[in-house]
Amino acid sequence: MTVSTALIAASTNRFPSAADTSPDSLIAFGSNNLLALWDVTAPNDYGVFEMLPGHEGVVTCVRFISNDILVTGDEQGVLLLWKRVEGKWRIKHKVKAHMRALTSLCTFNSWLVSGSSDSTVKFWETDASENDGSLQLKQSITTGRWYPLSLALAFLPGTRGNDVFLLLAISGSNTNVHLYLRNEQEQLIHSASLAGHEDWIRALTFKAPCTSEETLVLASGSQDATIRLWNIEPLKNAEVAAGPGDQPRDDLLDAFEASLGEIGETEEGGRQISLKRHILTIRSIDGRQASRQYAVTFDALLIGHEFGITSLSWRPSLGPDSTPTILSSSTDSSLILWSPSTVLGSTQDSTTSIWINRQRFGDVGGQRLGGFVGSLWARGGQEALGWGATSGHKGPVRGLAWSPNGEYLISAGVDQTTRIFGKVHPSIPSQSSWHEIARPQVHGYDLLDVVSLDALKFVSIADEKVIRVFEAPQNFVQLAKTLGVADFTEIEVNRPAGASVPPLGLSNKAVGDGSTVAPVLAPLDRRPFESEFAGATLWPEIEKIFGHGYESITLAVSHSRKLIATACKATTSEHAVIRLYETDTFKLVGQPLAGHTLTVTRIAFSPDDKYILSVSRDRTWHLFEEKDGQGYVHAAADKPHARIIWDCAWAAEGDVFATASRDKTVKIWKRVEEKWATTAVIKTSSPATAVDFSPVDTEQIRKLAVGHEDGTIEIYRNSPTDPSSWKLDITIDKSLAHVDQIHRLSWRPQSKYNNKTNELASCSEDGTLKILIIQGQ
């Protein structure tokens, strides 16, 4: 049996250094405590193809050293050195680098510099040529009362390839850029502080000169919404005699500015642009007692962003005549490309460069949900990438459900969104891949579960007492048809065009159905962009259901789609009840189903809807049977587990059901005469948190998927003729499954949309949603 992934939905962590691109355009980014890999050159736009476990803390920094070597850091201060060997990424070295979280990381040749919120910057030498790899600490720098937030390394002009002539720039939670030079003892010495910014400096990047005559340029970006460029170049006739006590200083200018008092404040209260020239001095290593001197001067001020700068990166050189270009990202939800515009100078012989905003793109003026956290260049500078806070579920994914015929998958997360994923262009293999196609609900409470009533209607619950019902707008119907996700047969007319959320409201209101509000709709000829999901793909809310006294906790729908069952948080038997509602009128059916004494964790209808099964924190399961004219009445109960029962599921044939518990067992139950008894006990290596049965296949075999608290998934096989015999087929480890508790498992319904393949959807506390393809017998 083989397992592969059809979909990995994962968000990028909200740190500017949490993603990086390799020279061959492989994107690596931190997603919670996982490392996600995405090949932007893939022909079918597949997306994330692999998740690498290894970190115990949230990944904050990712940097490539080469195509096959990268370094990652996390919030626990741990550095991991990864190496790709025969196509597989492996951890070669692990070190507890800092006492607190990694905040910044930069690589340069064989050097690595890490910064942390413990107010230290550490200088490392890497040697990944060895089979095991290594990270050797060379120096530790204490920053004092401020935290390093960005780091950059470069050779001094005219010294490329000589590791002694290294220049390190550090910035962070103060308003200066700090420059460090490497001396003849191979130690980094503080040499200058560049003033000018008015707020924290979050981004630094060097543009290395292409020739020995060019200037080294440092760009710095700050929360004051400005970018400053600094030129670093050799002083003419700079070789001077050096005594043993020489230090890199510019005493006359320092004294002059100090005598003027607050030179940086103007009458209007803003900072003046300082033209101070900083002198860097480094001793030559050629044996002569001489020094080299370099001047650092402010060159340009780039103004265009409305809010703070989060990242900066120079475009990779496209040749000797290519124009220098900076990519910047900001919390104002925009990316900007900056480049110089050469104009005539004071004389006809001279020219000067003025940096201008060449192009602004991204979610300009749209819904600012944190803006862009960072940006990268890919494909050798042919593409610019940016990431924000809303790409993929941010936080645990608690619920998922397939549409009745498996056309698409809908998920619910504690990031307060429901999302729909569909297989785009399934009839064209070279273009076919899974993608998010709609975000029907953007809520104000954490979303916990979701079920589909039909292909164009779903119900969701959140950490509130209200149950909400949504119906697809006309825009979604047309989009799904255009993308090849589904071709609905329902009447498409008389549907609202879309939906919007009113200010200070939680309910999606229909627009475009005769209302005066003009709808904002996603285009129908392509997948929606990230900036369009939150507003242009919403579904109208058509019903609210009330009844429970406390916040909702779980939800189920009958196979006939005529009933939904709900439960809420409870500490007493009075509230630990199940309420049933009709899906035609959404009115309460009969009396609440009582029996449990604590919170009901899962509800499941039998395939013929004759039974309702429920499990609870009170370690019991209860069975309710439909009686003609009496509704559902209590039929059976048992307390078979020693710990909380997390999940339950019916086999598609209706002959057995399963209960999964924290006591590391899954029990299979079968009706024997008038009672339900245990017919099999499956012992698991860690607490079982999710279960689901697949239908019987052509070989008369059905499968049981079991999700664990540690994120692994086990697949068991069984023949309906012998429900007491279950054989373990495969254990899907953390590299393909998850690294934290699995909340839900669901086999994709067999239909024309999946060509009879076994596809298993899973969601986890680790923040990822996956569809696994399971092949073989």
Q: What is the signed CA dihedral for 505, 509, 512, 513, rounded to 10 degrees?
A: -150
- CB pairs under 8 A, 24+ apart, for 694-700? 694/652, 694/747, 694/758, 694/760, 695/652, 695/653, 695/747, 695/750, 696/652, 696/653, 696/720, 697/758, 699/777
CA torsion sign for 442, 446, 452, 458 is: negative
Least-confidence region, from 190-199, 490-499, 709-718, 720-729: 490-499
pLDDT at 498: 86
Give yes or no for residue 370 having a pLDDT over 80: no
Residue 89: band (very low, low, confident or very high) from pLDDT cuts 50, 70, 90: very high
Return phi, psi of residue 533, to 5°: -60, -50
- Distance CA(391)–CA(417), nearest Å, equals 11
Continuous segment of H or E residues that includes residue 476:
helix 474-483
| 28-48 confidence digits (pLDDT tens) | 999 999 999 999 998 888 899
Most confident of 114-123, 203-212, 533-542: 114-123
- Distance CA(490)–CA(330), nearest Å, equals 44
Phi-psi region of 43 (alpha: psi -120 to 50; beta: other; left: phi over 0): alpha
Contacts of 362 (CB under 8 A, 6+ apart): 329, 333, 334, 335, 372, 386, 531
DSSP-assigned letters across all residues of 529-577: PHHHHHHHT---EEEEE---SS-EEEEEE-TTSSEEEEEE--SSTTTS-
Predicted TM-score (pTM) of this structure:
0.89
| 567-584 confidence digits (pLDDT tens) | 999 999 999 999 999 999
Give the burial string for 753-775 (b: 16+ CB within 10 Å, else e): bbeeebbbbbbbbbbbbbbbbbe
Least-confidence region, from 122-126, 314-318, 551-555, 687-691: 314-318
CB atoms within 10 A of CB 136: 12
Work out the average pLDDT over 203-208.
93
CB atoms within 10 A of CB 21: 23
Work out the average pLDDT over 666-672.
95
Domain annotation covers residue 542: yes
pLDDT at 269: 42
Give the burial string for 477-515 (b: 16+ CB within 10 Å, else e): bbbbeebbbbebeeeeeebbbbbbbeeeebebebbbbee
Work out the average pLDDT over 754-762.
78
pLDDT at 516: 52
Most confident of 124-138, 171-185, 479-493, 516-530: 171-185
Structural domain boundaries, residue 474:
405-546
In the numeric block, which tokens belong to residue 5? Answer: 């992934």
Domain annotation covers residue 2: no
Domain annotation covers residue 551: no
Which residue has 């050195």 as its token pair?
81
Most confident of 28-42, 209-223, 492-506: 28-42
pLDDT at 742: 97
State the amino acid at position 428 in one-letter form. I
Least-confidence region, from 185-199, 235-249, 327-341, 676-690: 235-249
Pairing of strands 688-693, 702-708: antiparallel
Give yes or no for residue 167 having a pLDDT over 60: yes
Residue 246: band (very low, low, confident or very high) from pLDDT cuts 50, 70, 90: very low
Domain annotation covers residue 711: no
pLDDT at 503: 76
Comparison of pLDDT for 432 and 248, the residue scoring more? 432
**pLDDT > 70 in the chain, percent:** 88
| 440-466 confidence digits (pLDDT tens) | 999 989 999 999 999 999 999 999 999
Question: Considering the chain, what is the average pLDDT of its residues?
Answer: 87
Work out the average pLDDT over 283-290.
54
Domain annotation covers residue 213: no
pLDDT at 134: 83
Domain annotation covers residue 500: yes
Between the alpha carbon of residue 273 and those of residues 265, 299, 301, 326, the distances in Å are 10, 10, 9, 21
Nearest CA-CA partner of 758 in 406, 401, 426, 454: 406
Contacts of 268 (CB under 8 A, 6+ apart): none
pLDDT at 254: 53
Give yes or no for residue 235 having a pLDDT over 50: yes
Residue 364: band (very low, low, confident or very high) from pLDDT cuts 50, 70, 90: low
Least-confidence region, from 24-33, 504-513, 657-666: 504-513
End-to-end distance of the chain based on CA atoms, in angstroms?
6
Domain annotation covers residue 278: no
Domain count, the chain: 1
Give yes or no for residue 292 having a pLDDT over 90: no
Domain annotation covers residue 496: yes
pLDDT at 752: 56
| 396-440 confidence digits (pLDDT tens) | 999 999 999 999 999 999 999 999 999 998 877 777 899 999 999
**pLDDT > 90 in the chain, percent:** 67
